[in-house]
C-alpha cells in the first residue's frame, strides 16, 4: 500500500464524536485482474453475484428492495480494457455494499459515456452527453469517480 494512495478522512457523527480513518484509493491495473477474479468468485459463492464466470457478459445482482435480480451488462466489447476496468470497478462497488439498483445505474451511465465518447477520447461529446442525460450531476460524479479509478490515455 503506497502512502500517496491513502486519504485521511475525519468524520464527525451526530453526537459530535470524531472518527478518523484511512481510505485507500484504488486504481485500475491490468496486472491485478487475477486478484479481482478471486474476489468475483468469493462474491459469487456468497450470493452477491449470479453468474457462472467472471468473463460472463451479464452478471445479476440480488436486489433486496424488489426481491429480483438486477442485470449488469458488460456489452462494450469494442473497448476491452475499459470493459475490464468497468467489471473491476463494479466488483469494488459490490464489495462496498452499494445497492444493486445503484450499481446498475453506474454501469449504464459509464457504458453510455464510453460509447458516446469513443472510449473517453472525444471530450466535447462528453459535455454534450452530460447536457442531454437525466440526472446529469449524478452522471458527472459517476464518470469522475470512474476516471479517477481508470486513468484515460489520450
C-alpha distances in angstroms, 35 versus 51, 60, 62? 18, 21, 23
Using the predicted structure, report yes or no on whether residue 31 has a pLDDT greater than 90. Answer: no
Q: What b/e readout covers 36-69, taking b as 16+ CB neighbours within 10 angstroms?
A: bbebbeebbeeebbebeebebeebebeeeeeeee
- Look at residue 3 in the predicted model and tell me its pLDDT: 37
26-35, 50-59, 95-104: which range is least confident on average? 26-35
Domain boundaries, the chain: 26-149
Measured distance CA(30)–CA(129) in Å, rounded: 28
Using the predicted structure, report yes or no on whether residue 116 has a pLDDT greater than 90. Answer: yes
pTM comes to 0.82
Measured distance CA(43)–CA(58) in Å, rounded: 15
Q: What is the pLDDT of residues 45-98, one digit of tens each?
A: 999 999 999 999 999 999 989 999 999 999 999 999 999 999 999 999 999 899
**Residue-wise DSSP of the chain:** --GGGEEEEEEE-TT--EEEEEEE-----GGGHHHHHHHHHHHHHTTS-B-S-TT-SEEEEEETTTTEEEEEE---TTSHHHHHHHHHHHHHHHHTT--HHHHHHHHHHHHHHHHHTTTTT-HHHHHHHHHHSSSHHHHHHHHHHHHHHSPPP-
Amino acid at each position: 500500500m503506497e502512502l500517496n494512495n491513502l486519504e485521511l478522512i475525519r468524520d464527525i457523527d451526530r453526537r459530535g464524536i470524531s472518527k478518523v480513518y484511512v481510505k485507500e484509493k484504488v486504481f485500475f491495473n491490468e496486472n491485478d485482474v487475477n486478484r479481482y477474479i478471486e474476489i468475483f468468485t468469493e462474491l459469487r459463492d456468497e450470493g452477491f453475484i449470479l453468474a457462472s464466470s467472471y468473463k460472463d457478459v451479464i452478471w445479476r445482482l440480488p436486489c433486496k428492495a424488489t426481491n429480483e435480480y438486477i442485470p449488469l451488462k458488460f456489452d462494450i466489447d469494442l473497448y476491452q480494457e475499459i470493459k475490464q476496468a468497468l467489471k473491476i470497478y463494479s466488483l469494488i462497488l459490490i464489495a462496498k455494499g452499494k445497492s444493486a439498483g445503484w450499481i446498475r445505474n453506474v454501469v449504464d451511465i459509464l457504458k453510455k459515456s464510453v460509447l458516446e465518447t469513443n472510449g473517453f477520447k472525444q471530450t466535447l461529446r462528453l459535455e454534450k452527453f452530460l447536457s442531454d442525460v437525466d440526472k446529469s450531476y449524478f452522471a458527472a460524479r459517476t464518470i469522475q469517480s470512474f476516471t479517477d479509478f481508470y486513468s484515460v490515455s489520450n
